[in-house]
Chain A
Amino acid sequence: MSVDKDETQQRLKAAVHYTVGRLCQRMGEDHRREFSRQVIAAIAETAFRQCDVFAKDLEAFARHAKRSTVSSEDVKLVARRSTALSIYIQNKSEELNQEQRDLKKKNAGKRKSRDTEESRE
């Protein structure tokens, strides 16, 4: 059982490393300053560990609100330390809600037109 868990951890670490590498490669090209492999590994390791910190915080916030599912409110709390970050996450959350509302309207519209067609038949 723990061998599986280790394997999952390694895969996740490798995934983070790959993603960080791609992001850093893009930024290196944009700003004409490349990252050494050591730095990419260090950023990946830091991001991976920060995930652990975030996850534990998220779980604590959800439990404090007597929920077992972590919601976007918990994420907004996690991002509270920096004002700019907090505003950024709140805006993203608003965007997501707006998209979902638009999607619901579209689906409701489709359903209505489908119903009227069926009743006509």
Chain B
Amino acid sequence: MYLLSLNIHAVADPVHRAHRYNFAKILFSELTIQRHETVSKLLSSSFKEDKTRLSGDAALLMAELLKVFVQEAAVRSQKQAESEDCDQVDIEHFEKILPQLLLDF
């Protein structure tokens, strides 16, 4: 087994890269259209009990919630970069908005 970095483009094996790319594309379409398998898998991997399931409606709503979370993080970081007159959003902008973001969610 090779070590995986967060950057999926760094994956060496082309077969695995293709699988992961397809998997990732499915998640993107789920968050932007409306299906729920990957979101379900994402959440149920953190459930402590085996019998806990996620209803279809709940999965759709959670997909919306996650999308809002990511969008909030992005927009707040952009506003912070804007207030500091920076062209690009850098890690320090994200770090500054992170505490309030977590408190709001």
Q: Which residues of A contact B (CB under 8 A)?
A: 3, 5-20, 22-24, 27-28, 31, 33-39, 41-47, 50-52, 54-56, 58-59, 62-63, 68-72, 74-76, 78-79, 81-82, 85, 88-89, 92-93, 96
Contacts and interface: CB of A to CB of B under 8 A. Distances in A.
B66 A51 contact: yes
B13 interface: no
B90 A36 contact: yes
B23 A56 contact: no
A56 B68 CA distance: 19
B28 A31 contact: no
Contact of A14 (B4, B60, B69, B90): B4
Interface residues of B, number: 64
B62 A54 contact: yes
Q: Which of B89, B95, B105 has the most CB of A within 10 A?
A: B89
Given A15-B38, A72-B57, A8 B45 contact: yes
Interface string B76-105: 011001100001111101110010011111
A41 B7 contact: yes
B55 A70 contact: yes
Contact of B58 (A5, A7, A58): A58
Contact of B52 (A15, A68, A79): A68
